[in-house]
Amino acid sequence: MRVITADEAAGLIQDGWTVVPGGFGCCGHPEAVTAAIGRRFRQTGSPANINLLFAAGSGDHNGRGLDHLAQSGLVKRAVGGFWGFAPALGKLALNGTIEGHNWPQGVISQVFRACSSRLPWIISRVGLNTFIDPDFEGGVMGAVGIKSLVKKVRFEGETFLQFPTSRINCAIIRGTRCDTTGNLAMDEEVSFQDSLAQAQAARNAGGIVIAQVREIVPAGSLRPHEVRVPGALITHVVVADLPEHPQTYAESFNPAYVAAGLPERPSSSLDRARHIITSRAVEELRKLSQPVVNLGIGIPADIGAMAHSQGVTDYTLTVESGQFGGIPAKGLSFGASAYATATIEQSSMFDFYDGGGIDIAFLGFAQVDSHGDVNASHFKGRAPGIGGFANISQSAKRVVFCGTFSAGDLQVRIDNGKLRIVREGDIQKFVRKVERISYSRAQGAASRQPAMIITERAVFELSGRFLKLLEIAPGIDIDRDIIAHVDSAIVVPDEVKFISDIHMQN
């Protein structure tokens, strides 16, 4: 193990290498090293044409994280799960400047393990009948003419998707500290991510492993159980401090993200639409006994606080990055949880998810169509990517999609317990055909998975492969406020219930 500077680390990366950058969303990214790689390329034109492989791409929406690498000529191909925090890199994929592929986040996490075992590919049911499927777009993000890397295969009478592994030349991971022999501890990192598998994959391919840490401590000062990546796997160490080693992009250090204890639940103070949606979602949570839950980005992230405000606490929240329990963080701390009760590796969490471990998932949506297919990954020239959405929505025992009925400056108010649409949103979300299928209702119906959609004005059931109206908010006119603003076919039964008055109170 050699201690080097970030610029020296950047100088090790060769043209055409396959590089795995660590981090999860807004947490744990080796910022000093990726910034140095971007800086070196601007100055010298090298490294050029590298290939990136990442699960939950890191960034802050504003140039940090993977967006240090968003330069024409630096990256040739990128295969990623979630791209939303690195919009500049995503833009290069959408316009064809780089070869971009979007795979399920959990699949990529499991690909890292397969790379370390030197397996040629993995197979998974996740992504069948979605845009990941080669019968559709095959996970290709942008330009026409890019060939999908995904294959559809039959094995013992069942259909799977086959995802290739890669030979990893360099893994860039992050920890809190390492000792003088390279043993890496992550005690102040919010999660373990895929650091071990990534290091093993690079090591077994004859590559290098660069670990960014905050400090180096004497050999023998770390207990074996503290070491998350053995020193035998790490070839180089870069010591960095703030601002290039924050715990999350929003917070330099928050002790709650690594501490034991019982959290104080946040109060729920939401705008009218969010209040109705999250309060109605809690009603679904009440129906289950001690469920394991996943909350998606956006409006679903507020359901935990709403549940607590209503006295609903007997459930376990999980985060894809590996946390059980606690309070998942939002914004530019996404990927952390305050006072989690346990933290496991990301790939192990997705093993649990893919096997049906989530009792109920509350997820956002951008579009839904007449067949009940949902788009959450590509819309209006943006491509945040599928992330863990495919793994979670396809494998959860029950899925609830939560979001406003329309988007783009929707304004509502409540008058005497009745909902009024002050201004309709500019962006229609109930469409004839979604831009890309992130959730296949055909797949969900085949597995008899209950699914519903909760908006501020209406609740729908995905019944078979159709949208069925179940409830409307008091004050809502079905023809004026719903049918007039959808292109998707909706089944309206003779009797439609009202959303409970409880959810209309703020």
pLDDT tens digits, one per residue of 1-57: 999 999 999 999 999 999 999 999 999 999 999 999 999 999 999 999 999 999 999
Q: Is the pLDDT of residue 267 over 70?
A: no
Instruction: Looking at the structure, tell me whether residues 91 and 13 fall in a common domain.
Output: yes
Q: How far apart are CA 415 and CA 218, in angstroms?
A: 66
- The contacts of residue 264 (CB under 8 Å, 6+ apart) are none
Q: Is the pLDDT of residue 400 over 90?
A: yes
- The contacts of residue 467 (CB under 8 Å, 6+ apart) are 368, 370, 372, 430, 453, 460, 461, 488, 489, 490, 491
Structure tokens at 30: 């080796």
**CA atoms in the 13 A half-sphere facing the CB of 128:** 20
Q: What is the DSSP letter of 456?
A: S
Q: What is the CATH number of the domain that holds 130?
A: 3.40.1080.10
> Packing angle between helix 346-354 and helix 105-116, nearest 10 degrees?
120
| Distance of alpha carbon 459 from the chain centroid | 25
Query: Which residue range(s) make up the domain with 57?
Result: 2-239
Structure tokens at 219: 């050999």
Q: How many domains does the chain have?
A: 2
Alpha-helix residue ranges (DSSP H) falling in 85-164: 87-94, 105-116
Question: Phi and psi at residue 432, in whole multiples of 5°?
Answer: -65, -40
CA angle, residues 25, 28, 44, in degrees to nearest 5: 90
Nearest CA to 395 out of 125, 31, 24 is that of 125
Lowest model confidence (mean pLDDT) among 37-51, 265-279, 382-396, 452-466: 265-279
Q: Calculate the dihedral angle through the C-alpha atoms of 130, 134, 136, 140, rounding to the nearest 10 degrees.
A: 90
Instruction: Looking at the structure, tell me whether residues 205 and 288 fall in a common domain.
Output: no
- Residue 295 domain-assigned (yes or no): yes
Domain-terminating residue out of 191, 218, 239: 239
- Residue 218 domain-assigned (yes or no): yes
pLDDT at 261: 85
Instruction: Looking at the structure, tell me whether residues 233 and 364 fall in a common domain.
Output: no
Instruction: Looking at the structure, tell me whether residues 95 and 178 fall in a common domain.
Output: yes
Greatest C-alpha distance within the chain: 74
Nearest CA to 211 out of 38, 75, 37, 29 is that of 29
pLDDT at 381: 82
- Residue 456 domain-assigned (yes or no): yes
What mean pLDDT is predicted for residues 229-243? 97
The whole-model pTM stands at 0.95
pLDDT digits (tens, 9 = 90+) for 281-323: 999 999 999 999 999 999 999 999 899 889 999 999 999 999 9
Selected catalytic residue, list 99, 320, 345, 456:
320
Residue 266's pLDDT band, with cuts at 50, 70 and 90, is low
Instruction: Looking at the structure, tell me whether residues 197 and 317 fall in a common domain.
Output: no
Instruction: Looking at the structure, tell me whether residues 479 and 355 fall in a common domain.
Output: yes
Instruction: Looking at the structure, tell me whether residues 196 and 332 fall in a common domain.
Output: no
Q: How far apart are CA 321 and CA 23, in angstroms?
A: 10
- Residue 474 domain-assigned (yes or no): yes
CB 324 within 8 A of CB 340: yes
Q: What is the DSSP letter of 125?
A: S
- Residue 264 domain-assigned (yes or no): no
DSSP string for 234-270:
--EEEE--TTSS-SBSS-S--GGGT--SPPPPPP---
Q: How far apart are CA 373 and CA 129, in angstroms?
A: 10
Residue 488's pLDDT band, with cuts at 50, 70 and 90, is confident
Q: How far apart are CA 232 and CA 289, in angstroms?
A: 45
pLDDT at 268: 62
CB 250 within 8 A of CB 333: yes
What mean pLDDT is predicted for residues 163-191? 98
Coil, strand or helix at 446:
helix
Query: Over pLDDT 70: what percentage of the chain?
Result: 99
Instruction: Looking at the structure, tell me whether residues 456 and 333 fall in a common domain.
Output: yes
471 is catalytic: no
Q: Is the pLDDT of residue 489 over 90?
A: no
What mean pLDDT is predicted for residues 437-450? 95
The number of residues in the chain equals 506
Domain-terminating residue out of 191, 214, 239: 239
Question: Phi and psi at residue 407, in whole multiples of 5°?
Answer: -125, 165
Amino acid residing at 241: D
pLDDT digits (tens, 9 = 90+) for 321-353: 999 999 899 999 999 999 999 999 999 999 999
- Residue 435 domain-assigned (yes or no): yes
Q: How far apart are CA 43 and CA 41, in angstroms?
A: 5
Q: Is the pLDDT of residue 265 over 70?
A: no
Name the pairing type of β-strands 208-213 and 184-185.
unpaired
Domain-terminating residue out of 215, 239, 263: 239
Amino acid residing at 310: Q
- Residue 258 domain-assigned (yes or no): no
Instruction: Looking at the structure, tell me whether residues 367 and 498 fall in a common domain.
Output: yes
- Residue 248 domain-assigned (yes or no): no
Instruction: Looking at the structure, tell me whether residues 232 and 312 fall in a common domain.
Output: no
- The contacts of residue 225 (CB under 8 Å, 6+ apart) are none
CB 357 within 8 A of CB 292: yes
Amino acid residing at 368: V
CB 473 within 8 A of CB 458: yes
CB 156 within 8 A of CB 162: no
- Tell me which H or E stretch contains 360: strand 360-363
Q: What is the DSSP letter of 33?
A: H
pLDDT at 380: 80
pLDDT at 463: 83
Instruction: Looking at the structure, tell me whether residues 235 and 278 fall in a common domain.
Output: no
Amino acid residing at 477: D
Q: How far apart are CA 439 and CA 427, in angstroms?
A: 20
Q: Calculate the dihedral angle through the C-alpha atoms of 400, 390, 192, 325, rounding to the nearest 10 degrees.
A: 10
CB 266 within 8 A of CB 387: no
- Give 409: exposed, middle or buried? Use CB within 10 Å, 0-12, 13-18, 19+: exposed
| Distance of alpha carbon 355 from the chain centroid | 18
Q: How far apart are CA 301 and CA 381, in angstroms?
A: 24
Instruction: Looking at the structure, tell me whether residues 30 and 117 fall in a common domain.
Output: yes
**CA atoms in the 13 A half-sphere facing the CB of 490:** 24
pLDDT at 506: 64
Cis status, amide bond into 328, omega within 30 of 0? no
Name the pairing type of β-strands 2-4 and 236-239.
parallel
